[in-house]
């Protein structure tokens, strides 16, 4: 099996898992993966992640021109922004999970780090997550906002929209996305309760032990 064929199958497998577990619904959400030659596979526009045909997945050359497959998601600029600014990015996942979207609407969250430090795994897999302002779906300005971060974040949360996560591999990006949603869920469930989060010292220990970029 070629690298491209395996990558198409992997995207389809993870997309179905994401859809079946309710992390995104309808035809929302998109996934991409960078191939060794620099071209990008990305899920097509208007397709539910739970019912993808591997042959439908769009392949774009390094300049963004469609080579094969169906027309790509209208939010492809989000994906290319991460590939262009973070050299280690091998895959990008953008979803609309309920708790993450809800968290993006809260007035008192820290826009520089929207996830409170509740578990070490959130820090290990995501670092700090930046809140970006509201954009219309498909607006190329979303990608420009990511580029403006100059590669300093592997994950962002779009206000009233949903998170975008980059990872070295597709598996890493999906796992980080799942961690983001779980932490958002914990943050909402424990809101206005006397929950004890991680201390600054504990966060520093995790950052040092696992060499996390947490600036």
The Cα–Cα gap between 137 and 54 comes to: 24
Three-class SS of residue 166? Answer: strand
Which one of 83, 112, 121, 179 is the catalytic residue?
121
Query: Which tokens in the block code for residue 84?
Result: 């262009």
150 CB contacts (<8 Å, ≥6 apart)?
85
Q: Is 151 left (phi over 0), alpha (psi -120 to 50) or beta?
A: left
User: What DSSP state is assigned to residue 70?
Assistant: S
Residue 16 half-sphere exposure, CB side, CA atoms within 13 Å?
A: 9
The Cα–Cα gap between 134 and 136 comes to: 7
Which one of 4, 75, 178, 181 is the catalytic residue?
75
| Catalytic residue status for 178 | no
The Cα–Cα gap between 41 and 95 comes to: 17
Residue 89 half-sphere exposure, CB side, CA atoms within 13 Å?
A: 28
The Cα–Cα gap between 73 and 46 comes to: 7
| Catalytic residue status for 214 | no
Which residues form the catalytic set? 75, 121
């Amino acid at each position: 099996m070629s690298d491209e064929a395996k990558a198409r199958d992997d995207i389809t497998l993870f997309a179905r898992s994401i859809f079946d577990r309710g992390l995104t619904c309808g035809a929302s959400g998109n996934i991409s993966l960078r191939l060794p030659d620099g071209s990008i596979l990305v899920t097509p526009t208007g397709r539910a992640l739970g019912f993808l045909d591997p042959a439908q997945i769009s392949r774009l050359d390094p300049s963004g021109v469609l080579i094969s497959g169906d027309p790509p998601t209208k939010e492809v600029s989000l994906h290319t922004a991460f590939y262009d600014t973070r050299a280690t990015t091998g895959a990008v996942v953008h979803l609309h999970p309920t708790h993450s979207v809800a968290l993006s609407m809260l007035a008192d969250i820290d826009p520089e780090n929207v996830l409170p430090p509740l578990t070490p795994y959130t820090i290990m897999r995501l670092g700090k997550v930046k809140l970006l302002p509201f954009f219309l779906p498909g607006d190329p300005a979303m990608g420009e906002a990511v580029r403006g971060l100059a590669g300093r974040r592997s994950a962002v949360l779009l206000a009233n929209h949903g998170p975008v996560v980059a990872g070295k591999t597709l598996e890493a990006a999906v796992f980080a996305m799942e961690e983001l949603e779980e932490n958002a869920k914990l943050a909402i469930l424990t809101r206005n309760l006397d929950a004890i989060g991680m201390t600054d010292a504990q966060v520093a220990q995790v950052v040092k032990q696992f060499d996390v970029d947490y600036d």
